[in-house]
Structure 1
Amino acid sequence: MSLLTVNQLKLQFGGLIAVNDLSFTVEKNSISSIIGPNGAGKTSVFNMITGFYRPTSGAIELDGISLVNRKPSQITTLGMARTFQNLRLFPNLTVLDNVKSGMHCRTKQTVWGALLRTKSQREEERLIEEVALECIDFVGIRKYTKRAAKNLPYGAQRYLEIARALATRPKLLLLDEPAAGLNYEEKQYLIQLIRRIRDEYNITVLMIEHDMGLIKQISEQITVIDYGCKIAEGSPEEVLNNEKVIEAYLGKEDVI
């Protein structure tokens, strides 16, 4: 059953068509990827799905609910979270406070509750911290809980951004080049972490990624785009042996 449905999606900036007639689905509890050469339109697709860009035309649905013309905050509330190619953490806040900020979309208390320190406000604060610590533990950065985000090793910053996204309690997690800048050991840990996110939290994962070794190990379904158009779709084996993909993205020498 499809969790995310993208149908005939188009994004145009003046005379430039960034994404054209793109359709694909993401099945519930799957790990799927979008790949393509630099400038193919991958991040533009993510930006439309998450409400940062408004599509020129086309449809996007999450669990049967249209996302078109919704604000990013509304889409988050509906059950979608994302990370970014370039880290967007609060550098001067601690790891704990960064992750707690991800719970904002799930809070119910008003400013008066915060000022008056009501029982319900205190209970909600306790729950927020409990969930944040759970997410920090899950991604493996508990030892950094009280450290400012800017003082973390780069790999830990990547995992922190994932923890913050998990704190929103999403149905669908979008990861934009999560392996960028990671060394071999960190990438292997990331692969296991993504599998655990799907298997233990029942969260569907959709990635953009350039690391083909990682893609081959973890993806169950791959959509390939070039110049904003879909040129292939299928399993890793099907896609990575597709002549159009080899020509547009991989290069013949990269495929065995």
Structure 2
Amino acid sequence: MSSLTVKNVTLKFGGLTAVHDLSFEIPNCSITSIIGPNGAGKTSVFNMITGFYRPTTGQILLDRENLVGKKPSEITRRGLARTFQNLRLFPNLTVLDNVKSGMHSRTKQAVWGALWHTRAQQKEEQLIEDVALDCLSFVGMEAYKQRIAKNLPYGAQRYLEIARALATKPQVLLLDEPAAGLNYEEKESLIDLIRRIREQYKLTVLIIEHDMGLIKKISENVIVLDYGQKIAEGTPADVLNHSRVVEAYLGKEEAM
């Protein structure tokens, strides 16, 4: 288990402040959600945590190690994995090969091992396949391992991206709108899957999501952003009834 802490983080793009003086701490082995209206800065926060954006000021700590300035691949090796709002699979590869690609950050054999097909290389290749198959089995997709990724139904592609993230052996898993495009039954299955991931892998899970029904069912803690600032934090019941949260979603007139 790993703790994730965001301390006084600000992100500016020229004269635009996307995130302002944001601080929060994600409890170990918890399920926490970040919510807020469109443009609130949610994805910018994920991009900073995972190294795609560099904060203008502030720190992002994983087990007290500052991640700011590290490349996304380095951050993945340190135990942090994510999925994306817009799927980023390898569409023309098989399901199995997509998940195996998630193990890239954990491989140790150099190019010579691949060229000469050494015993160590063969052993590592078998380990990669075993881990990938375990991850596919966990999300219920082992039967699709030889299917081409782009030919899967949309919901199955969502699960495939989660399986690939699990293959990196993370300690913290970030899910960016995992329920987007899913129907009711698929969302219920997703809730069960996220709970099982936390219990089986002992992971800390951080979610961006717009579906309030899902937020209420799965979140233990909710952080609310508006215009790049935190306006509320607490349990789903407390946060969703908070006057500033209602105002952010409905506007002042409706909130009254």
Matching residue of 1:70: 70
- Match of 2:75, as an amino acid? I
The answer (yes or no) to whether the contact 1:2–1:25 under 8 Å persists in 2 is no
* Matched ranges for 1:91-130 at <5 A: 91-130=91-130
- C-alpha displacement at 1:2, in angstroms? 6.9
Say if 1:212 and 1:250 are closer, same or farther in 2 by CA, change over 3 A.
farther
- Can you list the C-alpha shifts for 1:144-192, whole angstroms capped at 9, x where unaligned? 1100000000000000000000000000000000000000110000000
Distance (Å, rounded) in 2 between the aligned partners of 1:2 and 1:194? 17
Deviates more, 1:49-58 or 1:138-147: 138-147
Matched, 1:6 2:3: no
Q: TM-score, normalised by structure 1?
A: 0.97
Distance (Å, rounded) in 2 between the aligned partners of 1:75 and 1:251? 38
The answer (yes or no) to whether the contact 2:49–2:67 under 8 Å persists in 1 is yes
- Can you list the C-alpha shifts for 1:33-54, whole angstroms capped at 9, x where unaligned? 0000000000000000000000
- C-alpha displacement at 1:57, in angstroms? 0.2
Distance (Å, rounded) in 2 between the aligned partners of 1:175 and 1:190? 11
Matching residue of 1:28: 28
TM-align CA RMSD: 1.5
- Match of 1:108, as an amino acid? K
Say if 1:218 and 1:36 are closer, same or farther in 2 by CA, change over 3 A.
same
Which SS does the other structure have where 1:25 is aligned? Answer: strand
The answer (yes or no) to whether the contact 2:31–2:219 under 8 Å persists in 1 is yes
Which residues of structure 1 form unaligned runs of 5+? none
Distance (Å, rounded) in 1 between the aligned partners of 2:144 and 2:251? 41
Distance (Å, rounded) in 1 between the aligned partners of 2:207 and 2:101? 23
Matching residue of 1:46: 46
The answer (yes or no) to whether the contact 2:80–2:170 under 8 Å persists in 1 is yes
Say if 1:2 and 1:236 are closer, same or farther in 2 by CA, change over 3 A.
farther
Matching residue of 2:177: 177
The answer (yes or no) to whether the contact 2:60–2:67 under 8 Å persists in 1 is yes
Q: Structure 1 segments of 4 or more deviating over 6 A?
A: none
Distance (Å, rounded) in 2 between the aligned partners of 1:69 and 1:57? 11
- Match of 1:29, as an amino acid? C
Which residues of structure 2 form unaligned runs of 5+? none
The answer (yes or no) to whether the contact 1:60–1:68 under 8 Å persists in 2 is yes
- Match of 1:92, as an amino acid? N
- Match of 1:122, as an amino acid? Q
- Match of 2:42, as an amino acid? K
The answer (yes or no) to whether the contact 1:77–1:105 under 8 Å persists in 2 is yes
Matched, 1:230 2:210: no
Q: How many residues align?
A: 254
- C-alpha displacement at 1:88, in angstroms? 0.2
Distance (Å, rounded) in 1 between the aligned partners of 2:45 and 2:250? 21
- C-alpha displacement at 1:141, in angstroms? 1.1
Distance (Å, rounded) in 2 between the aligned partners of 1:36 and 1:237? 15
- Identity rate, percent: 72
The answer (yes or no) to whether the contact 1:2–1:26 under 8 Å persists in 2 is no
Distance (Å, rounded) in 2 between the aligned partners of 1:248 and 1:197? 32
- C-alpha displacement at 1:251, in angstroms? 6.8
Distance (Å, rounded) in 2 between the aligned partners of 1:240 and 1:16? 28
- C-alpha displacement at 1:250, in angstroms? 5.5
Matched, 1:132 2:170: no
- C-alpha displacement at 1:143, in angstroms? 1.7
The answer (yes or no) to whether the contact 1:76–1:105 under 8 Å persists in 2 is yes
